[in-house]
Amino acid sequence: MTYRILTRMGDGERVTMSAAEIKEDISEGIRDAAQSAEIPELTAGESEQLFNIMAEPSRTVSVSAGEEVVVTDDGCSMSFYAGQDSSGIGVPLSRMQAILTYERACAADTTSIGHSDYSFKPVKPIINFEMNEYYTTSMMTTAPLFYGAQPNMGLYFQPDGPYPNPADLLPQGKIKEACETQEAAAEQLRNDIVFVGKKLNSIGCEGLNLDTCGSAGDADLLAALQAVADLKKATPDMPVIMGGSGEFVLGMHGDVAFDGKRLAGMYPQDQAKVAESAGASIYGVAINTNTNKSAAWNIARAVALVKAAVAAVDIPIHVNVGMGVGGVPMMEAPPIDTVTRASKSLVQIGKADGL
């Protein structure tokens, strides 16, 4: 009888695979990453190391002593008081109580605070409320406290915002109009991020986290990059970190560039370069999980893409490892067997500077 290894699919389904099947999926995942992003494949030794992590019979795994990395908070403490739609557990805690619990009970390396909608646009009209909450909380926390929000340019389009929606214009063949409306929305978004950033800096913000940059496509990412560059000039002592929204920048506009580089179609190693160029302190790469492929395939692919991004820049790379990214299964309650295997692989083989 062939020895079977207990593992998962990208949607979290528990399956068993033979050692040969796991090795084949690791090879295919690496090959897919290399072909898609035009990056080097992992070495044979690294593939073997990855197989050993996947085949380890223990329920959870961890990095070796001395190889630990910083785990950056991106709204994690919100999970204490938020609802199911944010994978929250609904405990009636205030934001400050949740943050202090995360810092002290969970031993988090960094903490963060954010508006429950977690986008810059809704923060602008209540910025004084947010400044007060941040200021009060920052007097209590010892670990770095980020203020986090997403650029989320989609909120600027009709019916949620003032600008004509490119998703309506593009199917009508109105390409020029679709580009113009994205450019206008991106400029407004850039101004809003800078407005919020400057206000938070004035009350001693220890770090601003631009999460899920590029979720509405390349113009969304452009606005975020420009805002980071603006803030680095205006508020040089406030670290600004950026996180991607996916492994591939969608070309909803198709012809916007930052620092002379076209943003549409960028993979993580190039996303990290423009983030570094804008002045970001840390860049968080996001690698999509394919729910139809095994954990071995997804983690191998993520590790190859992360390794290339880490090597491409001098700033730290922290990998997004929430549900559906970084090899973590796409489900509401990701199984810790696969979460920890992704975690260990990204750090030990991908050489991530953090998660």
Partner 1 sequence: MHIAHIVASGMGGIRTSGDLVAWMQMTHKMKIFEAKHYVADKLGVDIIDLTNEEVMRQLREQLEIGVITSIAGSPKGLRAKLKIAELLEIKINSVNLFKSQIT
- Alpha carbon distances (Å) from 326 to 36, 38, 339: 16, 18, 9
Nearest approach in angstroms of CB 17 to partner 1 is 22
Considering only 34, 55, 70, 184, the residue that binds partner 1 (CB under 8 A) is 70
Q: Is 251 in the site for partner 1 (CB under 8 A)?
A: no
Q: Is 141 in the site for partner 1 (CB under 8 A)?
A: yes
Nearest approach in angstroms of CB 69 to partner 1 is 5
Q: Pick the stretch among 115-123, 124-132, 261-269, 328-336 that binds partner 1 (CB under 8 A).
A: 328-336
- Alpha carbon distances (Å) from 112 to 139, 209, 355: 13, 9, 14
Considering only 26, 131, 145, 285, the residue that binds partner 1 (CB under 8 A) is 145
Report which of 223, 305, 230, 238 is spatially closest to residue 272, judged by C-alpha positions.
305
Q: Is 263 helix (H, G, I), strand (E, B) or coil?
A: coil
Cross-strand partners of 9:
294
Q: Is 254 in the site for partner 1 (CB under 8 A)?
A: no
Q: Is 93 in the site for partner 1 (CB under 8 A)?
A: no
Report which of 327, 294, 336 is spatially closest to residue 9, judged by C-alpha positions.
294
Rg (CA), the chain: 20
Contact code string over 31-60 relative to partner 1, x by CB under 8 A? -----------------------------x
Q: Is 196 in the site for partner 1 (CB under 8 A)?
A: no
Residue number with CB closer to partner 1 (12 or 166): 12
Question: Position of tokens 């214009």?
Answer: 169
Considering only 30, 37, 54, 76, the residue that binds partner 1 (CB under 8 A) is 76
Q: Is 321 in the site for partner 1 (CB under 8 A)?
A: yes
Main-chain phi, psi angles of 170, to 5 degrees = -60, -45
Tokens of 301: 């692919």
| Cα 182 from Cα 156, distance rounded (Å) | 9
CB atoms within 10 A of CB 200: 26
Tokens of 169: 């214009």
Q: Pick the stretch among 32-40, 137-145, 153-161, 181-189 that binds partner 1 (CB under 8 A).
A: 137-145
- Alpha carbon distances (Å) from 12 to 60, 223, 314, 328: 15, 35, 34, 9
Contact (CB, 8 A) for 294 and 253: no
Considering only 1, 2, 237, 292, the residue that binds partner 1 (CB under 8 A) is 237
Relative orientation angle of helices 295-312 and 19-37, to the nearest 10 degrees = 40
Residue number with CB closer to partner 1 (5 or 143): 143
Contact (CB, 8 A) for 207 and 282: no
Considering only 325, 343, 349, 350, the residue that binds partner 1 (CB under 8 A) is 343
**Which of positions 94-133 make contact with partner 1 (CB under 8 A)?**
103-104, 106-110
Tokens of 100: 């202090």
| Cα 12 from Cα 5, distance rounded (Å) | 15
Q: Is 193 in the site for partner 1 (CB under 8 A)?
A: no
Considering only 25, 32, 46, 206, the residue that binds partner 1 (CB under 8 A) is 206
Main-chain phi, psi angles of 249, to 5 degrees = -75, 120
Q: Pick the stretch among 112-120, 169-177, 203-211, 288-296 that binds partner 1 (CB under 8 A).
A: 203-211
Nearest approach in angstroms of CB 354 to partner 1 is 7
Considering only 2, 58, 84, 142, the residue that binds partner 1 (CB under 8 A) is 142
Q: Is 66 in the site for partner 1 (CB under 8 A)?
A: yes
Q: Is 207 in the site for partner 1 (CB under 8 A)?
A: yes
- Residues ≥6 apart with Cβ < 8 Å to 230: 190, 194
Nearest approach in angstroms of CB 188 to partner 1 is 26
Q: Where do contacts with partner 1 occur on this chain (CB under 8 A)?
A: 60-63, 65-66, 68-73, 76, 79, 87, 103-104, 106-110, 138-145, 201, 203-207, 237-239, 241, 281-282, 314-316, 321-323, 328, 333-334, 336, 339-340, 343-344, 346-347, 352-355
